[in-house]
Amino acid sequence: MNYRLGVKTDVGRRREVNEDSFLVHEPLFVVADGMGGHVAGDIASSTAVDTIKEQSPSASAQDLNTLAGLVLTANSRIWEKSQSDPTLRGMGTTCTLLMLDSSKAHFAHVGDSRAYLLRGGTLTQITEDHTLVGRMVKEGRLAAEDAERHPQRSIVTRALGVDSEVEVDLITVDVVEGDRILICSDGLSSMLDFDSIAATLNEESDPQIAAERLVDAANEAGGEDNITVVIIDMGTGSQGVAASTESGRTATAESPGAMGGPAVAPSSSEMTYAGAVAAPPEPERREERKAPAQDEAHDEPPAPRWRRKLVVALVIVVVLGAAAIFGVRYLLGNSWYVGVNDDGFVTVFEGIPEEVAGLSLNEEIEVTDIRADQLPGFLGDNVADGIKKDSLEEARSHIAILEEQVEVEERQRDSNRQRDRNNNTKD
Ligand code: CA
């Protein structure tokens, strides 16, 4: 099927670096949103798109497993990089990969970037957000509308490169002429609500102009994060992007929006988008498969405590019996805790909160804005001792809870102040 494209990435209004990456490499389209601070997030997302481009299969070998393989290979590359360079520890990226195949759209997805389908004027989110709030919505503990504004909405529970393995969602959707697919980073979806994204996609028939309008609107709404938008209109243009590859890795501070140009020249085809959307929306076939050799219960804590203890015990034996250095490295690379750094800020550490012969056995991974003295007594005490976690994700989830606690405290203080003021006025 023919298609027309619109592509735009922008650093947004608050960030100095664009850590999003995208790839347009027929018939593959990728949006990757890196995280990890400084340059690490950028390296994570660009490694993802570079690996996918490099490993992209020949047209005859495309199936969902091949697609999953691309994402798993990208995961390994990022993981290996982060293990070999301490400054890249903890980096990761989302990855939403689309492969078009005549009348089908295949997606491989990890993280909180999103793919949507617009058909007959109705917008549907195809991917599921791998976030803390996404999980709460799925479990019925939070309304979808509240999730859009939730302060912890950007905490992802699954990302490429943060572990040696990752679970990949695989989804296939039948596409028909007139369908419009949007892939975007959360810099769009966290700034604009579902209805305004749908409205812009419905109003603007030119995919490139639609992409630019969405990015502009996200910036007008605050532009708090990097914004990347890829729009593919099915059956409304000349054949694809033959021989065209474009990837946007670093729309850097000196060239914000440098990747904003159309990835391909818009088609001169006269077939209009509005005329092609007669088909009523039908429930798309959603085929979701786990990637091969993945842990079914990845979201759950990785191992029961006794097994972890056993592993630690075994490691100690290894340490005693063989190379001490190897043992220390193992502990450092496989343990996390939430603690307080020297400046008094709550921090995720990799390693253990111990020192041996003046050598600290931990490393700061993510420093939060929460000061330890902002936390109510018992929570502050616990954090000061270091709260062990089985994975980086669990440590981040714990941070989310602490952030919530700080907010609750602040609200409480505000309302107390308000009440005091009211009482004074009455007196
Ligand atoms: Ca982002």
Residue 278 has pLDDT above 90, yes or no: no
399: part of which helix (H) or strand (E)? Answer: helix 392-426
Q: How remote is the CA of residue 24 from the centroid of ligand 1, in Å?
A: 19
Q: How remote is the CA of residue 186 from the centroid of ligand 1, in Å?
A: 5
Residue 201 has pLDDT above 80, yes or no: yes
pLDDT, greater one: 271 or 4: 4
Residue 295 has pLDDT above 50, yes or no: no
Average pLDDT over residues 292-314: 52
DSSP 101-119: ETTEEEEEEESS-EEEEEE
Q: What is the per-residue pLDDT across 17-26, written as a single tens digit (0 to 9) for each?
A: 999 999 999 8
Q: How remote is the CA of residue 154 from the centroid of ligand 1, in Å?
A: 7
Helix (H, G, I), strand (E, B) or coil at 78: helix
pLDDT, greater one: 365 or 29: 29
Considering the chain, what is the average pLDDT of its residues? 78
Confidence band of 298 (pLDDT split at 50, 70, 90): very low
Average pLDDT over residues 88-99: 94
Helix (H, G, I), strand (E, B) or coil at 33: strand
Confidence band of 328 (pLDDT split at 50, 70, 90): low
Q: How remote is the CA of residue 185 from the centroid of ligand 1, in Å?
A: 6
- Give the strand order in the sheet containing 359-371: 359-371, 345-356, 336-340, 387-389
CB count within 10 Å of CB 55 equals 14
Closest to 243 (Cα-Cα) out of 31, 25, 6: 25
Residue 321 has pLDDT above 60, yes or no: no
Can you state the percent helix, strand and coil of the chain, rounding each to 5? 40, 25, 35
Q: How remote is the CA of residue 227 from the centroid of ligand 1, in Å?
A: 7
Domain ranges of the chain: 3-274, 305-333, 335-419
Q: How remote is the CA of residue 48 from the centroid of ligand 1, in Å?
A: 15
Residue with the two structure tokens 């798309």: 284
Quote the CA–CA distance of 234 and 253 in Å, as a whole number.
33
Q: Which CATH superfamily groups domain 3-274?
A: PPM-type phosphatase domain (3.60.40.10)
Q: Identify the pLDDT of residue 356.
A: 67
Q: Identify the pLDDT of residue 262.
A: 34
Q: How remote is the CA of residue 224 from the centroid of ligand 1, in Å?
A: 9
Q: How remote is the CA of residue 50 from the centroid of ligand 1, in Å?
A: 19
- pTM equals 0.60
Residue 350 has pLDDT above 80, yes or no: yes
Q: How remote is the CA of residue 155 from the centroid of ligand 1, in Å?
A: 10
Q: How remote is the CA of residue 93 from the centroid of ligand 1, in Å?
A: 9
Average pLDDT over residues 196-214: 98
Q: How remote is the CA of residue 44 from the centroid of ligand 1, in Å?
A: 13
Q: Identify the pLDDT of residue 346.
A: 92
Closest to 89 (Cα-Cα) out of 369, 348, 359, 338: 348
Residue 143 has pLDDT above 60, yes or no: yes
Q: What is the per-residue pLDDT across 211-250, written as a single tens digit (0 to 9) for each?
A: 999 999 999 999 999 999 999 999 865 444 433 456 664 3
Confidence band of 266 (pLDDT split at 50, 70, 90): very low
Closest to 369 (Cα-Cα) out of 397, 392, 394, 347: 347
Average pLDDT over residues 371-392: 78
Q: Identify the pLDDT of residue 155.
A: 80
Cross-strand pairs, 184: 114, 229
What CA–CA distances, in Å, run from 419 to 409, 414, 422? 15, 9, 5
Q: How remote is the CA of residue 81 from the centroid of ligand 1, in Å?
A: 21
Q: How remote is the CA of residue 226 from the centroid of ligand 1, in Å?
A: 6
Tell me if 114 sits within 8 A of 94, measured CB to CB: no
Lowest mean pLDDT among 181-185, 187-191, 300-304, 382-386: 300-304
Contact residues for 115 (Cβ-Cβ < 8 A; gap 6+)? 96, 98, 107, 109, 125, 126, 127, 171, 181, 182, 183
Q: Identify the pLDDT of residue 5.
A: 96
pLDDT above 90 as % of the chain: 43
Q: How remote is the CA of residue 372 from the centroid of ligand 1, in Å?
A: 26
DSSP 309-362: HHHHHHHHHHHHHS-HHHHHHHHHHH-EEEEE-TTSEEEEEEEEEEEETTEEEE
pLDDT, greater one: 194 or 386: 194
Q: How remote is the CA of residue 20 from the centroid of ligand 1, in Å?
A: 7
pLDDT, greater one: 122 or 384: 122
